[in-house]
């Protein structure tokens, strides 16, 4: 119990969700990385490398969840110009991987940019609230910063830009930005999105820059609903088809961990399509349980959000939680072929380096804010633990009854005092009658 109180602070439910996700990750990555293990010199290297990231990530959680929220604000604001510079630099010096330029110096700048932008937005939202409405200056600052970061991420990673923009919009809604402004954002984005989709689908491929051809191809593959038997398993849609086969093989209870048949044929089985492998090995029950963990995380954070006394840390906790949960829902939707392939990993479960460490950092922030909320609630309870809990009620005390001893002397004294009081009362009544008569006689 002492270790539980000193080492694992914060909300215990969130700690439980975190460790269960870690366990699922280790088991499924060990199974899903069979193709990497076959190519590696040591068969256990891929799983061992991922486990190492999880261990360092957990150490980061233990450190971060003891930090006060103003550290996150300072780090996020300082990281904003750095991430801006790296997002520009990655366009020129990053090697192309799977048709996209996303990495520089071994990590993805977009992961740092997501965190820094969320911090900046939460800071502006916390400072822009007033009785007269949300500050127009802060509103436009949010739009400018979000537009810059999302605009730099979008050309090489549309799904990440969409994810970040969605989280920012929900934060603005929760923070109380006026409906008129939110509806104007929706209207502008709807018009721009319709024009962009029309250009993407109907413009000649020769004039479409960057990854537009890839986006168009993924939309066309997702809209193709031919039966599996009529599909080419070696064609462009092979990844989607093998993912659907993995889901179909899973059934209700699955083939149990380590017994996947599709993992050796499914590209990115350990990343983009890890959820398909989870369903194949753990069945619909296991897949539903993993979905339940992320939904439970969202609900638990909403409860802590309502208990928090300070605006910025509460919004920051909610923002990073939405990044985790929304990203998880996107990955799961891809795994069961509800939406086109996006490249979004399943947070804390998919194999990764930067994304795994950043997600662990998010959990550290969530636990830090939950720890502060628990301390505030305990202080409140201690300061208001009077009577039935009302802050204005005075503590009730029993009256002290002094023992009395009756003697003849004390009895005589009491009798004399009563007689004197009675005589004074008679005199007072006579004076009042005399005063009343005199006063009336003047009229």
pLDDT digits (tens, 9 = 90+) for 214-262: 777 777 776 666 666 566 666 667 778 888 888 888 888 888 888 888 8
Please give the Cα distance from 307 to 107 (Å, whole number): 36
Question: How far from 101 is each of 22, 107, 151, 323, 342, CA to CA, in Å?
Answer: 29, 11, 15, 22, 15
| Residue bearing tokens 């439980």 | 16
**Domain of 245?**
2-204+214-381
Please give the Cα distance from 172 to 176 (Å, whole number): 6
CA 99 and chain centroid, separation: 31
Number of domains observed in the structure of the chain: 1
Question: Is 31 domain-assigned?
Answer: yes
The mean pLDDT value for 8-26 works out to: 92
Q: pTM of the prediction?
A: 0.80
Per-residue pLDDT at 388: 44
What pLDDT, in 10s, does the model give residues 33-65?
777 766 666 667 778 888 999 999 999 999 999
Question: Is 32 domain-assigned?
Answer: yes
> CA 240, 267, 29, 251 torsion: positive or negative?
positive
Question: Is 408 domain-assigned?
Answer: no
| Share in percent of the chain as helix, strand, coil (round to 5) | 70, 0, 30
Question: Is 415 domain-assigned?
Answer: no
Question: Is 394 domain-assigned?
Answer: no
Question: Is 372 domain-assigned?
Answer: yes
Question: Is 426 domain-assigned?
Answer: no
Question: Is 189 domain-assigned?
Answer: yes
What pLDDT, in 10s, does the model give residues 156-209?
788 899 999 999 999 999 998 888 999 999 999 999 989 988 887 777 766 666
Q: Please, are residues 293 and 17 in contact by the beta-carbon 8 Å criterion? A: yes
Q: Which residues contact 208 (CB under 8 A, 6 or more apart)?
A: 199, 200, 216
Q: Where are the beta strands (DSSP E) in 299-394?
A: none
Please give the Cα distance from 270 to 349 (Å, whole number): 9
Please give the Cα distance from 303 to 96 (Å, whole number): 43
């Amino acid at each position: 119990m002492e270790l539980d109180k000193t080492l694992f602070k914060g909300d215990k439910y969130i700690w439980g969700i975190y460790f269960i996700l870690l366990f699922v990750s280790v088991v499924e990555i060990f199974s899903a990385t069979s193709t990497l293990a076959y190519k590696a010199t040591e068969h256990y290297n891929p799983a061992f490398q991922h486990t190492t990231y999880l261990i360092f990530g957990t150490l980061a959680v233990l450190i971060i969840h003891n930090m006060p929220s103003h550290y996150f604000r300072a780090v996020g604001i300082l990281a904003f110009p750095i991430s801006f510079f790296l997002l520009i630099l990655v366009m020129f010096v990053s090697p192309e991987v799977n048709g996209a330029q996303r990495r520089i110096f071994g990590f993805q700048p977009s992961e740092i940019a997501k965190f820094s932008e969320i911090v900046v937005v939460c800071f502006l939202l916390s400072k822009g609230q007033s009785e007269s409405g949300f500050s127009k200056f802060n509103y436009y600052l949010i739009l400018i910063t979000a537009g810059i970061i999302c605009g730099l991420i979008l050309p090489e990673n549309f799904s990440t830009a969409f994810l970040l923009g969605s989280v920012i919009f929900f934060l603005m809604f929760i923070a109380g930005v006026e409906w008129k402004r939110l509806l104007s954002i929706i209207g502008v984005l709807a018009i721009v999105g319709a024009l962009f989709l029309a250009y993407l689908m109907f413009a000649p491929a020769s004039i479409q820059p960057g990854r537009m051809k890839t986006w168009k191809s993924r939309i066309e593959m997702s809209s193709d609903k031919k039966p599996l038997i009529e599909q080419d398993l070696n064609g462009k849609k092979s990844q989607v088809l093998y993912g659907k086969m993995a889901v179909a093989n899973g059934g209700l209870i699955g083939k149990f961990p380590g017994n996947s048949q599709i993992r050796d044929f499914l590209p990115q089985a350990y990343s983009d399509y890890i959820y398909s492998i989870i369903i194949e090995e753990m069945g619909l029950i296991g897949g539903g349980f993993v979905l339940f963990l992320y939904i439970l995380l969202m609900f638990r954070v909403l409860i802590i959000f309502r208990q928090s006394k300070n605006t910025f840390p509460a919004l920051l906790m909610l923002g990073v939680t939405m990044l985790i949960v929304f990203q998880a829902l996107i990955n799961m939707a891809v795994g069961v072929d509800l939406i086109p392939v996006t490249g979004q990993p399943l947070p804390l479960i998919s194999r990764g380096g930067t994304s795994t460490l950043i997600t662990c950092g998010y959990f550290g922030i969530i636990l830090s804010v939950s720890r502060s909320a628990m301390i505030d609630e305990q202080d409140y309870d201690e300061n208001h633990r009077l009577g039935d809990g009302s802050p204005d009620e005075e503590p009730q005390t029993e009256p002290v009854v002094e023992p009395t001893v009756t003697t003849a002397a004390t009895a005589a004294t009491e009798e004399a005092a009563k007689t004197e009081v009675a005589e004074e009362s008679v005199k007072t009544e006579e004076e009042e009658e005399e005063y009343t008569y005199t006063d009336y006689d003047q009229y």
